[in-house]
Amino acid sequence: MKILAFGDNLIDPEMLKNGLKSFEDRGDEIVIRDWSHPTTADLQRDNLKVEQEGPDSVKVDDALLKDIDSFDLIVTQFTPIGRKIIDSAKNLKYIGVLRGGIENVDKKYAESHNITVINTAGRNARAVAEFTVGLILAETRNIARTHAAMKKDVWLKDFPNKDNIPEVGGKTVGIAGLGHIGKLVGKFLEAMDAKIIFFDKYVDEYADFEKVDSLDTLIKRSDILTLHMRVTQETTHIIDKAKLAEMKPSAYLINAARAELVDEPALIEALKEKKIMGAALDTYMNEPLPADSPFLKLLNVTLTSHLAGSTADAFRNTPKLFAERFLEKYGK
């Protein structure tokens, strides 16, 4: 099998070479080409455009597509694989995406050409799960806002939750979506003596966690509600005004998954009117977050710049994880 792998600023050619070594060991030919940008910020801008406008919205230089018709498998993290590349790759049988999502690949068009598209589910699950715990602690314990105040020489003691600052231990944490990430979040917080409940219609039971019968029940019982669902037509704005009204006034909403899960105007209203205690968010409908975003004026929200899945360890380990899964399923 002949393999074309695209590196970038975050999974560079050396990481690809090391991670895909199991292909080389069995005699496959690997060609690695570099789609790195001048800066990581430039790469992220192109990636954001691809996610918003589709894989054909960003051009890949022709030099990177040399002999594209000779490859059986293309491996990519951010390099967009749109219709032009698919039409040119006459021998292509597989597209491997070194991410959980496949927004940079025209999956439907690829499959219409009998090309199998394979993602790397859970590749940054630990990174996102650890970050989620960080968001919970940052918001409930006022870590981020006191840091910002200290930088301004303010010894801050006045917080939105100053009369009821909680500990995670003993609280009920509701996990909406018990995939790779949700399971790790639950394990981490269970070790902190939280009670873990979850709702996921595709998971019947899991370890010591309690499954509840509906999202409404999950919301009503949770002191901390953390979202780990995929975005589908069914889950878009699944947390809307009505669902936010079901949360306890003392509860916190955490979203390190996808912005589309939450009706942002409804959340902003709930935070403004203090219908919930607070929220912590890593993802937004408009990114970068606009300077006039109402979120920036709220005191009871912790905001981060879409960082949850980005760790050196996650990027370094992804090619190896992909290779293992690919060869197990398709390498016989």
Which are the catalytic amino acids? Answer: 258, 287, 306
Pairing of strands 116-118, 252-255: unpaired
Among residues 219, 267, 271, which one has the least CA distance to residue 241? 267
Nearest to 172 by CA among 267, 241, 251, 242: 251
The amino acid that residue 290 corresponds to is: P
Instruction: Determine how many CB atoms are found less than 10 A away from the CB of residue 247.
Output: 21
Q: Which of 55, 84, 88 has the alpha carbon at shortest distance from 70?
A: 88
Q: Does the N-terminal peptide bond of residue 288 adopt cis geometry, omega within 30 degrees of 0?
A: yes
Question: How far, CA to CA in Å, does 217 sit from each of 7, 17, 91, 280?
Answer: 44, 48, 51, 21
Other residues' Cβ atoms within 10 Å of the Cβ of residue 276: 20
- Name the DSSP letter for residue 91: T
Going by C-alpha positions, the residue among 236, 222, 230 that lies closest to residue 266 is 236
List all residues 6 or more positions away from 157 whose beta carbon is below 8 Å from its beta carbon: none
